[in-house]
Amino acid sequence: MRVFFSPRQLAHAPASEFSRGEMIAFRECPVRAQSILAALAAAGFPAPEQPDDPGLAPVLAIHDGEYVDFLRTAWTRWRAGGATVAAYPTAWPVPGIGERRPDTVEGLLGWYIFDSGTPIVAETWDAVKAGADTAHAGALAVATGARSAFALCRPPGHHAARALAGGYCYLNNAAIAAQALRDQGAGRVAILDVDYHHGNGTQEIFYERGDVLFVSLHADPAFGYPYYTGYGDQSGRGAGEGTTLNLPLAAGTTEAEWLAALDHGLGRLGDFAADAVVVSLGVDTWEGDPLSHFKVSARAFPALGARLAGLGLPTLFVMEGGYATAELGKNVVGVLSGFEDA
């Protein structure tokens, strides 16, 4: 398995996020990637390859140009107004007042970022662009003959929609990778999202497309972030009708129930007859993760990898969530080793 990682991703390190009424230490911290790198090395995986810079074309194939310009310039504009701390939105275009795109950076922060936990600091753009480059490099590796690759992307990406950031996500790495696979000749691509949270951004990007299947196992939005998407009756629209499969799971979901949902999702992948698979790999489903309300043990991760290997398809793993940093690397290696050993 080829591994891709850019150290530039470590520079994005906001100090805090707003959660449940208080400022807390930022959970999506550089230690996450460092934990995974250490575990990969200890398990004997090859040294990470640094991605090439393909420019903005892969990003703009997925994301709106004005949104990308906002991400590139937001920090400079924020600082120009005299601010010295991280940029957070403080107002949002909710129904009733969300009709016109504002001009000021303060207004644009709410226009383009849907929550209060996704700040912008000086290093954000360079880090998220490096993450997109990492996913793109992994896709090219799989497209040119590698059986599998792991793109260690940080920040994660699956909450980022075409013109929207949130949930620690700014650019949708998995979507960028899926499009790169299509551009390299894959007729159909499947995205399997196993993160604890629904990949609302990935769903939005491909909701009306029939060439990319999106299957997601996640906490039921009736109780779990991001709350407003991921319901079972959201199945696609137009040319994409039937190419979205949401499998929302209740709080307290057991390991057996989670694996049964996984098998259901993998069955849909088999029916789709994809040429390649992108796995949005979140391991925040683990029972010890601070954001999880599932009862999924570490044993499930090698089982996930083995089931994915059983598809017999070129497979790209793109890192998403997982916030129990002491165990994060072990759980990621569990998935990748399960795939390799199957």
Active site residues: 159
Q: Are strands 22-25 and 16-19 parallel, antiparallel or unpaired?
A: antiparallel
User: CA-based angle 166:62:53, to the nearest 5?
Assistant: 95
Q: What are phi and psi of 138, to 5 degrees?
A: -60, -40
* Beta strands per DSSP E along 54-183: 148-151
CA distances from 300 to 69, 177, 212, 266 (A): 40, 25, 26, 15
3-state secondary structure of 93: coil
CA distances from 246 to 51, 98, 164, 201, 320 (A): 32, 28, 21, 13, 17
**Tokens 């390190």 identify what position?**
13
d(CA 165, CA 32): 20
Q: What are phi and psi of 73, to 5 degrees?
A: -115, -5
Burial (CB count within 10 angstroms: exposed 0-12, middle 13-18, buried 19+), residue 187: exposed
Say which DSSP state 278 is in: E
Tell which phi-psi region holds residue 145, choosing left (phi > 0), alpha (psi between -120 and 50) or beta.
left
Quickly count: other Cβ atoms within 10 Å of residue 42's Cβ.
Answer: 11
3-state secondary structure of 213: strand
